[in-house]
Amino acid sequence: MAFPAVFEQPLGMRALANARRFGRWLTSPKVILGLVMLVMMIYLILVPLYRMFETTLTYQERDIHYEPDAVVGDFTFFHWTRMLTGQIAAVMTYAPLQHSLVTSAGATFLALVIGSALAWMTIRTDMPGRNIINTLATVPYIMPSWTIAMAWTVLFKNRTSGGSPGIYEYLLGVSPPDGLAYGPLPIIISSALHYYTFFFLFVSAALMSIDSNLEEAGELMGASRWRILRKITFPLVVPALLSGFIMTFSKVMGTFGGPNVLGIPVGYYTVSTMIRSNMGLGNYADGFVLAITLILFAMSTIYINQKVVGTRKSYETIGGRGFIASRTRLRNWKFILTASVIVFQIIVAIVPLALLTWDTFMLVDGDFGLSNFTLHYWIGESNPAISNGVPGVLRNPDIYKGAWNSIQLSLYTAFFTALLGILLGYAIAKGRGTRLSKLIEQLAFIPYVIPGIAFGAVYISMFAKSVGPIPALYGTFALLVVVSVAKHIPYSARTGVSAMLQVGRELEEAGEVANANAWERFRRIIFPLTSPGFVSGFLMTFITTMRELSLIILLVTPSTQVLASMTIRYLENDDTQMANAVIIILVALVLTGNFIITRFRGGSLKKGLGM
Amino acid sequence: METTNIIIKNLTKRFGQVAAVNNVTLTIEPGAFITLLGPSGCGKTTLLRCVAGLEEPDEGEILIGDKLVFSSRRGISLPAGQRNLGLVFQNYALWPHMTVYKNMTFALEIQKLAKAEMDQRVKESLAEVQMTGYAERYPREMSGGQQQRIALARMLAYRPKVFLMDEPLSNLDARLRMDMRAELKRLHHVAGATTIYVTHDQVEALTMSTQIAVMKEGVVQQMDTPDCVYHFPANLFVADFIGNPKVNLLEGVANGDGAVDLGNFKIQLAARTAPGQVVVAARPEDITIALAPEPGAVEFTAYSVLPAGADSTIVARRDQLELTVKVIGTSKIKMDDKVWLQFNPATLNLYDKTSGNLIHSKN
């Protein structure tokens, strides 16, 4: 088809027309916002990754110890060869890597079994008290990830690491073997008991969305219950399992608290604890090599998994549509299964807190007798004979400062995450199908697969020095907010996009036809319709930030301590009771927050995870 | 109300490689009710959205009245809000968090109308769609039909020069749709605003429009009055798309002396045509059917008889050939009866088989 008009057009006029057209494109709100978001994603995600990579490939000041001829800032493979092939490689890289993979795989598998079983029992059986089980199942996830690890040590610690014995030894008089007290087994168990929630939530949602008709169709054709479960139900749940796998594996790979509490005493380092110890010694480049290794491993495991299961995009979770599902009758198993679930939930949700609380009442750690009871660690005045003169937590200004820091960090993070969610959601959803939108969406997904501690490491390299107008943020409270917001980007993008997509395109177009400008349309149409989603997202971010440790452990300084990092500091100073008291305060804050959420209309853990 | 004409010149809108609207040129007279009719994916909604300013075309020009609202040549594209038009969406697009009153005054507030004026406009517009007293309702508190009326009232309230409607009745049930057709036609009659109406429902198009533009694959196949579109379809696509039951299309060879050879019988035309491969189009209601032989009638067998009260449809077969015939009232013909079909030369349209274009129309 020919368009003579176009060819007759003088050159200048055509250029003007194109310029006008480009100008309109560039000044349309979704494009402006999209470009701003793109720059932001590049700055918050790609640039830090690049800087980290760059650091590993240049000589650092301390390298002159090893290579006297080195010029600081010159290009080198020194760190990579040292960490991957040098004498220290086995201890510094390969052993921790192996430990990380073993504990992540073990914890993920155990979490899968626990989470799926609980989900199936609450959604698909006639077990009594399903609602309570359902509520309690998410409690371990709400608590800090290393709570169970700390409780474990109260129960099982032995004298390997020096110090005092646990309850096990006190009661039985025999020291528990190292394998039970420390190392991979307790790390796997304590991590699985925290992270099974992902599987529980994803599988519950998937089971809820399966139409019973699908199973009944199989039943009518004469398939046995087991066959139906295997051939119909299971394949439908596979995408949910995959989502759970990706989330859990990447989280455990990057988790710091558990391996720190349970691994370090016996020298069982994972990549995350090894990164921390390198960073602590100032070996930034070496730490970054480990962080990059960790990222690559986490990403490739997820990639392989996705390839194996197929091309379906299971990252997009299945929403529960609330079919009336037929429930399996447990009959004779009802009593025993219900009892086991109750016992399990008590062990996971209540016992750890009880143990930690008990521990804070012991004057001398390890003596569980009544004569040893004290309130010193809570309300005692400074006494040089106990804990180097640190006063009880309720009299300690450091604790109040830490708690205030925690609350502030969580509030700021929640606020900016929600704000970014709105903006990202708008930019991605309104630009659906354009390259700009796809690019933003893909960039926003990256933090999802970067393990927490590695993400923290990335930010050290980024903000150690001032870049252009941005000051060196290292050591500041602002950096903690920035890193927390950045790590939440995948969730904010997902919440934002799903909230925006719920608002039909026509609703905004109707405003456009009525001559409302972009700001008016946003303020009067889009924002009121999407805000409920962001409110629950806000509250959820508040909680997850409050108990986040892996992400910020490398970035806190004495003046920016938050409660989470203080527990680790007290632990490292051997003030176990102090550490446990801080955990109790932290849990109390988090549970209060969670209580507010559940009271709040429409808020829930599921929504906070963007489901 | 003052009315305005709309001129669309060489308009093209591509999505990737596909031209959803392909070099469309249309002139819409002031006060016209023009329907864009076609199967889904024919580009009718895209064309409407281009006029509305919600989609930016790749080529061409659009004039509303004397205002150039889009020109690829000059790089002009006015935002939707400055084109002075109203749009009723397929799913109404009422803002769920606003009352009917707020929905209707949204645009008026932007125009900075006085409160009294706004109240007056809301009152009038609600009365026009017979929804007086619903101003404080929220959209979800009303039925689909009521929401539809409110969507119309919202458009009427700010008095645009042009009404655009994108399949506004498709979400209503059959009965309500009938009522609303009459209402919409009346509304257009009273308001007199130039209206572009998109639908895939030929009955809507035929009953309501002053002009119909039948579209296929982004191209306007025919633009004409409903009567002409029905009786003189410009090509085989239009002939086949319009009419229920469908037109009978009979392939044959024109012998040059005014008859078409269909293989085992011939059909006489009203005029001579050049010899060649042709298709004869005969509307089901234009064929007469009888239970006894008549001069010039062709013998068929009643394959199926479908009485529907007011009329009956008979599917008749002769060897491989199948024809649909429509008669008034309940037919006495029973299945497997021998029947005789008579073609009236004055009612037949003749198409070129290769191009599909009309070569010879019934007078």
Q: Which of B202, B282, B191, B297 is nearest to B241 (CA)?
A: B202
Local confidence band at B36 (pLDDT 50, 70, 90 cut-offs): very high
Out of B22, B81, B158, closest to residue A512 by CB: B81
Distant-in-sequence, close-in-space partners of B216: CB < 8 Å, separation ≥ 6:
B38, B39, B42, B237, B241
Out of A5, A513, A520, closest to residue B87 by CB: A513
Beta strands B33-37 and B194-199 are: parallel
Q: What is the pLDDT of residue A200?
A: 92
Q: Compute the nearest-CA separation of B309 from chain A (Å).
A: 40
Local confidence band at A5 (pLDDT 50, 70, 90 cut-offs): very low
Do the Cβ atoms of A17 and B10 come within 8 Å?
no
**CA separation, residue A213 to residues A202, A206, A238, A594, B174 (Å):** 21, 15, 19, 36, 31
Mean pLDDT of chain A: 84
Lowest-confidence range among A231-235, A293-297, A549-553? A231-235
Q: What is the pLDDT of residue B174?
A: 85
Do the Cβ atoms of B10 and A3 come within 8 Å?
yes
Out of B54, B77, B81, closest to residue A516 by CB: B81
Mean pLDDT of chain B: 92
Local confidence band at A332 (pLDDT 50, 70, 90 cut-offs): confident
Do the Cβ atoms of B110 and A520 come within 8 Å?
yes
* Sign of the dihedral through C-alpha A154, A159, A160, A163: positive
Distant-in-sequence, close-in-space partners of A513: CB < 8 Å, separation ≥ 6:
B52, B53, B54, B80, B81, B85, B86, B87, B107
Q: Average pLDDT, stretch A445-458?
A: 86
For the stretch A266-281, pLDDT in tens is: 899 999 999 999 888 8
Out of B79, B97, B111, closest to residue A528 by CB: B97
For the stretch A472-520, pLDDT in tens is: 788 889 999 999 999 999 988 888 888 888 888 889 999 999 999 989 9
Lowest-confidence range among A220-229, B148-157, B193-202? A220-229
Run of H or E including B343: strand B338-343
Amino acid at A43: Y
Q: Average pLDDT, stretch A54-59?
A: 89
Residue of chain B minimizing CA distance to A24: B77
For the stretch A243-260, pLDDT in tens is: 788 888 888 998 999 999
Whether residue A445 contacts residue A490, with contact meaning beta carbons closer than 8 Å, is answered with: yes
- Of B110, B162, B170, B217, which to mutate for an interface test with A (greatest number of A Cβ within 10 Å)? B110
Percent share of chain A, pLDDT over 90: 27
At A182 the three-state DSSP class reads coil
Residue of chain A minimizing CA distance to B81: A515
Out of B73, B95, B110, closest to residue A6 by CB: B73
> Counting beta carbons within 10 angstroms of the beta carbon of residue B264, is it exposed (0 to 12), middle (13 to 18) or buried (19 or more)?
exposed
Residues of B engaging A, defined by a Cβ cutoff of 8 Å: 10, 12, 22-23, 52-54, 56, 59, 71-77, 79-82, 85-87, 89-91, 93, 95-97, 106-107, 110-111, 158
Cross-strand bridge partners of residue B318: B321
Residue A36 has a CB neighbour count (10 Å cut-off) of: 12
Side-chain-side CA neighbours of B204 within 13 Å: the count stands at 30
Residue B3 has a CB neighbour count (10 Å cut-off) of: 16
Asked whether residue A6 carries a pLDDT value surpassing 80, the answer given is: no
- The alpha helices in A143-183, defined as continuous H runs, are 147-156, 167-172, 178-181
Sheet with B67-71, strands from edge to edge, namely B18-28, B6-15, B59-64, B67-71, B76-77
Local confidence band at A404 (pLDDT 50, 70, 90 cut-offs): very high
Do the Cβ atoms of A529 and B96 come within 8 Å?
yes
For the stretch A109-162, pLDDT in tens is: 999 999 999 998 888 888 888 888 888 888 888 888 889 999 998 888 887 766
Do the Cβ atoms of B23 and A510 come within 8 Å?
no
Q: What is the pLDDT of residue A8?
A: 53
For the stretch B59-85, pLDDT in tens is: 999 999 989 999 998 889 999 989 999
Instruction: Specify the residue for token string 């591509």.
Output: B14
Q: Which of A540, A549, A537 is nearest to A480 (CA)?
A: A549
At A500 the three-state DSSP class reads helix
Give chain A's domains with CATH numbers.
Answer: 32-45+129-311+336-368+397-608 (1.10.3720.10)
CA distance A174 to A193: 26
For the stretch B230-270, pLDDT in tens is: 999 999 999 999 998 999 999 999 888 888 998 888 898 88
Q: What is the pLDDT of residue B135?
A: 94
CA distance A40 to A440: 9
Do the Cβ atoms of A509 and B12 come within 8 Å?
no
Do the Cβ atoms of B59 and A512 come within 8 Å?
no
pTM above 0.95, yes or no: no
Do the Cβ atoms of B59 and A6 come within 8 Å?
yes
CA distance B173 to B141: 18
Residue A241 has a CB neighbour count (10 Å cut-off) of: 20
Cross-strand bridge partners of residue B253: B261, B277
Q: Which of A432, A406, A408, A441 is nearest to A45 (CA)?
A: A441
Q: Compute the nearest-CA separation of B315 from chain A (Å).
A: 39
* Sign of the dihedral through C-alpha B80, B82, B85, B87: positive
Do the Cβ atoms of A514 and B95 come within 8 Å?
no
Q: Average pLDDT, stretch A151-177?
A: 82
User: Crossing angle, helix A452-463 and helix A271-280, to 10 degrees?
Assistant: 30
User: Crossing angle, helix A29-41 and helix A11-27, to 10 degrees?
Assistant: 70
